Structure 1
Amino acid sequence: MTIFAVVALAAVGVGNGNASGAGDATTPRPRSTVHYPIHFDDAPTVPIRKPQPTVSYPIRFPSAKGQR
């Protein structure tokens, strides 16, 4: 068990070699390559359809007294 603990400690120590705070060292940060809003110039424009009611009469739902 002690050997396992020594090997694990050595692996953690080797894996964090640059984490000691070297002063000038800066870690590179990922930069976004996306520009919003996204436009597709060659895409055909499709008109947006508004939903139509399925019945022509209003549907009234019963409510408990004093609720509304």
Structure 2
Amino acid sequence: MPWVRSYGRSDGTPVRGHSRWAAGARRERMIFALFALAVVGLGNGNVSAGSGTSPRPQSTVRYPVRFDDVPVLRVQKPQPTVSYPIRFPAPEGHR
């Protein structure tokens, strides 16, 4: 859209600066709008195959996930290394 600078007409009338559609731009815009409406109209059709409902994907995951190739590791619980209680000094003022 070109910008027309301010100018004075031949009869002395001042014309402010303004934007103006280029030659043929209105026709091109109308063709584009009709094309866009046709695409939206045809794209939102109510097309269905078979029963009329679209199929939903089914989950193939089973929980808990187990890996057959990985051996199961047995973790031992930690055992205390001393049989007597360890007494830590109490902080000052907490006796």
- The two structures have a TM-score, normalised by structure 1, of 0.51
Unaligned runs of 5+ in 1: 49-68
Aligned partner of 2:53 in structure 1 is 26
The code of the aligned residue for 1:45 comes to: V
Aligned partner of 1:57 in structure 2 is none
Higher strand share: 2
Distance 1:45 1:9 in 2: 61
Q: CA RMSD in A?
A: 2.1
Tell me which of 52, 65, 88 is aligned to 1:38: 65
Q: How many residues align?
A: 44
**Greater Rg, structure 1 or structure 2?**
2
* CA shift for structure 1 position 47: 5.8
Match of 2:72, SS? Answer: coil
The code of the aligned residue for 2:40 comes to: V
CA deviation vs aligned residue, 1:16-52 (integer Å, no higher than 9, x gap):
1117xxxx6111111111111111133023466xxxx
Distance 1:41 1:33 in 2: 17
Unaligned runs of 5+ in 2: 1-28, 76-95
- In the TM superposition, structure 1's runs of 4+ consecutive aligned residues that sit over 6 Å from their partners are none
Which is bigger in relative contact order (C-alpha 8 A, separation at least 6)? 2
1:16 maps onto 2:37 in alignment: no
